[in-house]
Amino acid sequence: MPLSMYHSASGSQSPHCLHFVGIGRTGAGMLDSMLRTGELEDILEDPRARFTALVVDIGEQDMMQAKDYAEGFIDRLKERNIPPERAQIRFVSLEVPSRDELFASLRRYREYLKLEYPRYYWNPNYEPWIPDSVEIPKAGEHFPRAIAKAIYGKAYYDEPRTLEKELEDFAKSVDQTKLPSMVLVSFAMGGGTGSGIVVDLVRHLSNVKLGRRIPVIGIGTLPCSGDPEVYRGSNLFPTFNELDCMLDDDKNQGVVTVWGDLYRNPFTGGFFALSMENSWQRLTRYTDTGTQSVRDRMRLQVTNKFVADAFMRIALDDYGRTLFKALRLVGQTTAPHEAISSKSRSWTLYNVAKFTHPAVQVLPGEPLSKWRQVISQWIDHIPEYAGLKEGFKTDYAECVVHAPREMWNEKLDDKFKEGLSTFLLESEDSAIKVTHREFFDHLTAFADIMLPGVAKTDFVSFYESRDSYDTLSWDEKLLLHSWLLDLGVMISEPAIRFEGMAGECLWGCACWIVVPYDQVRGDAASVAPRRDILREGIAAMTKTVVATP
């Protein structure tokens, strides 16, 4: 049974266990980083602790390295006399079914949903959401979100129900943990496999297998400008909208009103959007030797690995306490007095501001003044490469600076805080919390920056992807959707029969969601700052307060 992570009377916070689900190449890479930190072994020294991990992908080509690290991790546990059975790490490689097999499964979807949720409306107009003429990719190729969803559904619902059993085993392993637990779910927001599968997998994990008892935290990695167009273009727009209709309590209630509790927000512990742009820019601004295609591929690999490593250091830091404190920013600690909804500002940006890089601009042995000059220059770039629209404001920033102790000084600290203030409202209600961690050498200095209170319309990539999405045909748009397709709903399109509402029905019937279409498009009035949203929520609660005589 899950235990309390926070004792409100004393302010003490217990150690806890982080469990992991990774989807697609990005999810496998994040597990790779998690296993390499060395922190997991320390957590498992506690006999009450367990670690449970599951990686799911279409094909196995992108999970081989994580498998190797998993084997090494088990060996390290044995060397430290930690029972290896307290770590359960599984890998599920989904086969690409034949067209006939896939469509046979899709035609049974009403049966599956009726068994899963008795309130499901048996739609007489139902047809498979994938067009008959669509080409099914091969393992290793790019999978559109709608097809990835169909492959997941077959593995979850069709006998032998491989994924259903894996999620059941995952939940049972988590339940054996005798410390408080949180589950991290990692995927790429711009990919087809990860973003296409996650909307159903996390629903089944959180709302069915775990019963919403344990915080499930989304980790969606945003594409950077070095990614191929297929990952940073039109694919992102439906992904943003589907996640937003989960994370925003008001929008999510509009979905639940029509389709029931199975579609309640499954990210019960909050959601981090990971930005890679700063790290990508740090690598690319000062080196142009070699073949460009090879150079860019290597840079992208280094960028992905660096961001994943940085996030996992924070996630596992101090037995998970640092991540827990960051989640308190968004009221995701399960403490009722802290659970005031941020509504459409429920996204938390995780940005890695990279200040130095080996052999770029400055070399070991050069004066500290030159190192500080370079760091100062890249502090100036933080707002530029955060991926947020100019003018974004929130009320809090949680930051961790990693640098050698002799390199970082008060002058840099003051400049860093001044740069972060760009994102903060000018108010006594705003604050910056900066923690310092000593890094082991001069080659790498960086900062983890966590900004709560982000709305989807604050991301520059939201509007860029919307513009790209608008150029597509209806069939092309369909393949970019995932969540609610089995119900016949395309969230990013206007409802057919309900003017001003979102959710076009695939089959020309009356499927829809109780969400205004202009909010889905991002054309509604600008969203109030998180501070004002929270203030309004608190005001509603204080109406019940009885004045002291």
For residue range 260-290, list pLDDT tens digits in order.
Answer: 888 999 999 999 999 999 999 988 876 566 6
Residue 156's SS3 state is helix
Average pLDDT over residues 375-392: 94
Looking at the domain assignment, is residue 363 inside a domain?
yes
Question: What rounded mean pLDDT belongs to the chain?
Answer: 90
User: Above 70 in pLDDT, residue 184?
Assistant: yes
Looking at the domain assignment, is residue 394 inside a domain?
yes
Average pLDDT over residues 280-305: 79
Three-state DSSP string of 98-116: CHHHHHHHHCCHHHHHHHH
Residue 1, pLDDT score: 38
User: Above 50 in pLDDT, residue 424?
Assistant: yes
User: Above 70 in pLDDT, residue 501?
Assistant: yes
Looking at the domain assignment, is residue 309 inside a domain?
no
Q: Which domain holds residue 432?
A: 353-460
Task: Band the pLDDT of 545: cuts 50, 70, 90.
Answer: low
Residue 549, pLDDT score: 64
Q: Which residues contact 108 (CB under 8 A, 6 or more apart)?
A: 157, 158
Q: Is the dihedral of CA 477, 482, 485, 487 positive or negative?
A: negative
Structure tokens at 384: 């530029």
For residue 372, CA distances in Å to 116, 122, 276, 278 come to 58, 65, 23, 18
Q: For residue 376, give the CATH number of its domain.
A: 3.30.1330
> Residue 527 carries which side chain, given as an amino acid letter?
V
Q: Strands of 174-215 (E only): list them.
A: 181-188
Question: Rounded to the nearest 5°, which phi and psi values hold at 2?
Answer: -70, 145
Give, as one character, the DSSP assignment of residue 497.
S
Residue 112, pLDDT score: 94
Of 31-35, 71-75, 336-340, 364-368, the one with minimum mean pLDDT is 336-340
Task: Band the pLDDT of 374: cuts 50, 70, 90.
Answer: very high
For residue 433, CA distances in Å to 11, 402, 532 come to 18, 14, 20
Looking at the domain assignment, is residue 451 inside a domain?
yes
Looking at the domain assignment, is residue 452 inside a domain?
yes
- β-bridge pairing 446-454 and 347-354: antiparallel
Contact by Cβ (8 Å): 416, 377: no
Looking at the domain assignment, is residue 490 inside a domain?
no
Residue 195's SS3 state is helix
Residue 101, pLDDT score: 96
Residue 2, pLDDT score: 41
User: Above 60 in pLDDT, residue 455?
Assistant: yes
Residue 448, pLDDT score: 96
Contact by Cβ (8 Å): 491, 513: yes
Question: Rounded to the nearest 5°, which phi and psi values hold at 503?
Answer: 105, 75
Q: For the chain, how many structural domains are there in total?
A: 1
Looking at the domain assignment, is residue 491 inside a domain?
no
CA-nearest of 520, 492, 497 to 508 is 497
Residue 288, pLDDT score: 62
Contact by Cβ (8 Å): 161, 167: no
Of 74-83, 230-239, 432-441, the one with minimum mean pLDDT is 432-441
Write the pLDDT tens digit of every residue in 16-29. Answer: 899 999 999 999 99
pTM attached to this predicted model: 0.94
What percent of the chain is modeled with pLDDT above 70? 93
Looking at the domain assignment, is residue 249 inside a domain?
no
- β-bridge pairing 501-505 and 513-516: antiparallel
Q: 22 forms bridges with which residues in the sheet?
A: 55, 186
